[in-house]
């Protein structure tokens, strides 16, 4: 008689998992996104017993590998990350039998929540033995998530805060430096200094660290010429990653502009706000809500103190106050809109306009529907609210040429110069 009994298949057995004992002898590859922040985070993970390597392969070969191993409708950030992992594993620099890769998962209505399965599927073709770790606070990938201890969490939070400060100071110094290369030298010195604060435990004294960073960048000799300020907003990966945005910050500096990039901590606060709003808007409850509320208010408190340090020194413009950014969102779009970067993108553009940065590049990655809606879709509203708002939406995808992207940005800069000229004439 035929046996019709059904067998249960555990799909989790289809992929390798990162086990605690692997921590000692495995190398973990981190994708490029924020060079300022991730070089410090790399040291933080090393301090907590992980051997991590921040990938810096950013050639066209990375994009080609991504195209080979993903569906042609996959969003551009996922393609970049997958391509970078596979290109690195093929380089021969790493023992693929003792190498893992790591990726964050937001847990929201975005393909970023599905990056880990996408990476696994891509690796299965050539490197099926390589585990994929997930960093998330949404309960995803419980059997392959990175164990986040309280010390690691606190140190990572401070690393992000310090990375934001360093990024802000760098972008306000580099365009004006008298001697080429001075700002980059200071940045390297600051990374070494920040790493030492995690070695001796002094990172908790964040006010002292903030002052030390400001003092180091102040030593760079700068000119007093007036330059166009250009904000960069958009999907989180394309907004920050030089690989994805064709080194957008470098290009703006080469065109005589000062780039303004929102802080990564704002995105983290945005995620915390969304978790808090879930109960108000959708009646969704979470057992960690109290922890999220506490983290939100504590991070706001630290961010506010850092802002005071900037104002006390007086040389540099402080980063945006997140409370102000959040209030700007309500003028454009409801805070219930949280798919992808949701209300944060129009909020950042409005906050920039209200603080004197009217020229903005909105980075639009291929395949990111939420970003196109809340980014490009709100530009008309923003221009009606702020008369001189000068926004260009630039598409980033595998087939887009760097020349076309830069030409669109150059047109925006030309308009910015005309507007500046009119303002100067009016003042005169």
> Where is pLDDT greater, at 237 or 107?
237
Counting residues of the chain whose pLDDT is more than 70, the rounded percentage is 93
Q: Is 5 helix (H, G, I), strand (E, B) or coil?
A: coil
**CB of 147 within 8 A of CB of 378?**
no
| pLDDT beyond 70 at 137 | no
> The pTM is what?
0.91
Helices (H) and strands (E) in the chain, counts: 16, 8
Q: Can you tell me the distance from the alpha carbon of 73 to that of 79, in angstroms, rounded to the nearest whole number?
A: 10
Q: pLDDT by residue (tens digit) across 336-358?
A: 888 888 899 999 999 999 999 99
Confidence of residue 35 (pLDDT cuts 50, 70, 90): confident
Q: Can you tell me the distance from the alpha carbon of 19 to that of 13, in angstroms, rounded to the nearest whole number?
A: 13
Architecture of the structural domain at 15-147: 3-Layer(aba) Sandwich (3.40)
**What local confidence, expressed as pLDDT, does residue 410 receive?**
96
Nearest partner of 102 among 14, 41, 11, judged by Cα:
41
**CB of 278 within 8 A of CB of 336?**
no
Mean pLDDT of the chain: 89
| pLDDT beyond 50 at 1 | no
Residues ≥6 apart with Cβ < 8 Å to 427: none
**CB of 75 within 8 A of CB of 111?**
yes
**What local confidence, expressed as pLDDT, does residue 149 receive?**
83
**CB of 144 within 8 A of CB of 132?**
yes
Q: Is 261 helix (H, G, I), strand (E, B) or coil?
A: coil
Nearest partner of 267 among 346, 375, 341, 161, judged by Cα:
341
Domain range summary for the chain, segments of one domain joined by +? 15-147, 220-427
Q: How big is the chain by its Cα radius of gyration, in Å?
A: 22
**CB of 66 within 8 A of CB of 87?**
no
> Where is pLDDT greater, at 138 or 262?
262
Confidence of residue 279 (pLDDT cuts 50, 70, 90): confident
DSSP-assigned states of every residue in 308-341: HHHHHH-SSPPPPPHHHHHHHHHHHS-TT--STT
């Amino acid at each position: 008689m035929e046996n019709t009994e059904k067998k249960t298949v555990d799909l989790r057995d289809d992929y390798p998992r990162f086990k605690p004992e692997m921590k000692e002898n495995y190398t973990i590859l981190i994708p490029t996104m924020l060079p300022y922040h991730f070089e410090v985070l790399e040291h933080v993970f090393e301090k907590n017993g992980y051997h991590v390597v921040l990938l810096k392969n950013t050639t066209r070969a990375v994009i080609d590998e991504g195209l080979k191993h993903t569906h042609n409708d996959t969003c551009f950030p996922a393609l970049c990350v997958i391509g970078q992992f596979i290109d690195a594993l093929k380089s021969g620099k790493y023992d693929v039998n003792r190498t893992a890769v790591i990726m964050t998962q937001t847990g929201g209505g975005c393909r970023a929540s599905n990056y880990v399965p996408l990476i696994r599927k891509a690796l299965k073709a050539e490197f099926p033995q390589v585990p994929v770790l997930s960093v998330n606070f949404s309960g995803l990938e419980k059997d392959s998530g990175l164990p986040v201890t309280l010390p690691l969490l606190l140190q990572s939070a401070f690393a992000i805060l310090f990375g934001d400060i360093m990024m802000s100071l760098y972008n306000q110094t580099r365009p004006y430096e008298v001697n080429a290369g001075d700002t980059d030298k200071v940045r390297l010195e600051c990374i070494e200094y920040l790493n030492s604060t995690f070695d001796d435990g002094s990172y908790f004294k964040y006010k002292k660290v903030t002052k030390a960073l400001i003092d180091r960048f102040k030593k760079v000799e700068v000119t007093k010429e007036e330059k166009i300020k250009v904000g960069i907003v958009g999907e989180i990966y394309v907004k920050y990653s030089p690989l994805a945005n064709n080194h957008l910050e470098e290009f703006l500096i080469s065109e005589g502009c000062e780039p303004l990039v929102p802080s990564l901590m704002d995105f983290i606060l945005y995620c915390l706000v969304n978790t808090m709003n879930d109960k108000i808007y959708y009646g969704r409850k979470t057992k960690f809500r109290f922890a999220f509320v506490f983290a939100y208010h504590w991070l706001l408190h630290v961010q506010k103190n850092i802002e005071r340090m900037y104002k006390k020194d007086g040389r540099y413009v402080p980063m945006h106050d997140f409370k102000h950014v959040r209030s700007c969102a309500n003028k454009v779009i409801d805070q219930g809109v949280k798919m992808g970067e949701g209300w944060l993108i129009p909020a950042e553009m409005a906050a920039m306009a209200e603080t004197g940065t009217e020229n903005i590049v909105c980075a639009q990655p291929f395949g990111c529907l939420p970003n196109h809606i809340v980014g490009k879709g709100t530009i008309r509203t923003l221009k009606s609210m702020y008369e001189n708002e000068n926004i260009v939406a630039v598409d980033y995808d595998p087939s887009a040429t760097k020349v076309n992207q830069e030409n669109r940005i150059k047109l925006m800069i030309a308009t910015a110069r005309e507007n500046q000229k009119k303002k100067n004439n009016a003042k005169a």
